């Protein structure tokens, strides 16, 4: 084989190997970024639920237990009759 052709073939082979390594690194970084994005969004969506459970729900339960109103409306919201009872109970307190 001609030495010039052999040198060009080896150079092309070295470039192909380097290209393959770079493409594998790019794919690996894409997967890690995808997994990282999933973790970040899971935290962003789960954190408010956790904070509600830990800090806000005790106040809501305390309020609903002192007012004597059960939430029986759609999605757990009080109905207009229950809201009127709550307003009347606060008006009755001097």
* pLDDT tens track for 3-48: 999 999 999 999 999 999 999 999 999 999 999 999 999 999 999 9
What are the domain boundaries of the chain? 3-92
Q: Cα–Cα distance between 76 and 38 in angstroms, integer? A: 30
DSSP 8-state assignment for residue 68: T
- pTM reported for the whole predicted model: 0.53
The CA-based angle 57-49-71, given to 5 degrees, is: 40
Segment 40-90, tens digit of pLDDT: 999 999 999 898 888 888 777 777 665 555 556 666 777 788 888 888 888
**Nearest C-alpha neighbor of 85 from the set 49, 76, 70:** 70
Q: Which residue carries 């309020």 as its tokens?
A: 63
CA pair distance 78, 86, nearest whole angstrom: 10
């Amino acid at each position: 084989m001609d030495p010039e052709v052999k040198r060009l073939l080896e150079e092309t082979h070295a470039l192909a190997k380097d290209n393959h390594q770079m493409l594998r690194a790019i794919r690996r970084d894409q997967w890690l970024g995808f997994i990282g994005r999933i973790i970040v969004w899971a935290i962003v969506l789960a954190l408010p639920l956790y904070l509600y459970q830990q800090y806000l729900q005790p106040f809501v339960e305390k309020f609903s237990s002192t007012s004597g109103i059960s939430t029986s409306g759609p999605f757990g919201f009080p109905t207009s009759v229950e809201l009127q009872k709550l307003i009347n109970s606060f008006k009755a307190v001097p």
